[in-house]
Amino acid sequence: MTALDETLAIPCSLESEQAGESLAGTAPRAQVWFALEYRERWEHKAWEQSSIDAAIRQAVDAQLAGIAGARLLLIKQKDRAAHLRFFAAVLGEQPALYTFELSSYAELAELDLTAIVAGAPQYAAQRSQQPLLLVCTNGQRDACCVLHGIGVYNRLQREFGDAVWESSHLGGHRYAANLLALPSGRAYGRLRADNALAVGAAVMAGALPLAYCRGYTAWEPAAQAAELLLRQRLQLSTAVGPRLLAGAALDEARWQGEFALADGSRHRVSVVRELGAPVHASCGDAKTTPTVEFRLV
């Protein structure tokens, strides 16, 4: 029996959608994303419970602890038998994506992750121009990740090939299927087999499909929401959009920031955080939690 069978009459993703929960400001947080190919079965804690040698995991964890805002994902593709792939995506105004081919996991521990993030010259040859689309399919974390994720992955992989990978837990089960675009650092939610191709094509073409965007993972939730609400107001759907100049919380409910556009204009934005309808954050949760909604003021 799955967690879904035990607790919810409907999947948490459907409950969230029916409640009209906004996606704005819900993106998982990270400024640096690492993605490691792992072809075996993923457990609830994919990295920690993997069969990768504990000494290697400890060495990698030690490096990750020294990199602000870093997260490691496990990824896989259907029927791949070539060298193991490892990606590093560094977000920012000039985002960078690095691609490595490993003959063993031992080689991972030998990489200087801090130097990669810093843009060290010895890793310049690994810079990649091909964006990645990572779709969470880890059903060991939540039933919705399999319910929606597998179909979305299959649809995108058929169209965009090697750019598309299955991913371990991204965060936000109830927004499944979840998609992370790298190196742009944009998270998307509520993808389905019937809309995945349009969303994926827009992202690969350098656009930002606002209706499905959860936010920019390098920013705090209020800033994520403020940018998306500003984009909606100005009808901006290009990947290069508002640049955050400054932002701060005024109190527990209010946030104010200033964004700059490519045309040189500046926009001061204020948002208020409000609690909405209670939903289950995950199919395995017995209790509900209130949704969080942001609106412009």
Q: Which two tokens stand for residue 274?
A: 């409000």
pLDDT tier at 25 (50, 70, 90 boundaries)?
Answer: very high
pLDDT the model gives residue 8:
57
3-class secondary-structure state, position 260: strand
Nearest alpha carbon to residue 1 among 98, 113, 104, 143: 143
How far, in Å, CA of 295 to CA of 2, rounded? Answer: 36
How far, in Å, CA of 62 to CA of 105, rounded? Answer: 15
Nearest alpha carbon to residue 114 among 70, 176, 146: 70
* Residue 5 clears pLDDT 50, i.e. is over it: no
Helices and strands of the chain, counted as H and E runs: 8, 13
> Average pLDDT over the chain, rounded to whole?
93
How far, in Å, CA of 150 to CA of 154, rounded? Answer: 6
Indicate the fold that domain 3-28+132-296 takes in CATH: Glutaredoxin (3.40.30)
Which string of b and e fits 38-75 if b means at least 16 CB within 10 Å?
Answer: beeebeeebbeebebeeebbeebeebbeebeebbbbbb
* Residue 166 clears pLDDT 70, i.e. is over it: yes
Task: Supply the pTM of this predicted model.
Answer: 0.94
Nearest alpha carbon to residue 215 among 194, 197, 205, 229: 229
Total residue length of the chain: 297
Residues of the chain with CATH 3.40.30.10: 3-28+132-296
How far, in Å, CA of 215 to CA of 60, rounded? Answer: 28
For the segment 27-44, the average pLDDT, to the nearest whole number, is 96
pLDDT single digits (tens) 110-151: 999 999 999 999 999 999 999 999 999 998 888 898 889 999
CATH 3.30.360 is the classification of domain 32-126 = yes
pLDDT tier at 3 (50, 70, 90 boundaries)?
Answer: very low
CB atoms within 10 A of CB 266: 11
Residues of the chain with CATH 3.30.360: 32-126
pLDDT tier at 241 (50, 70, 90 boundaries)?
Answer: confident
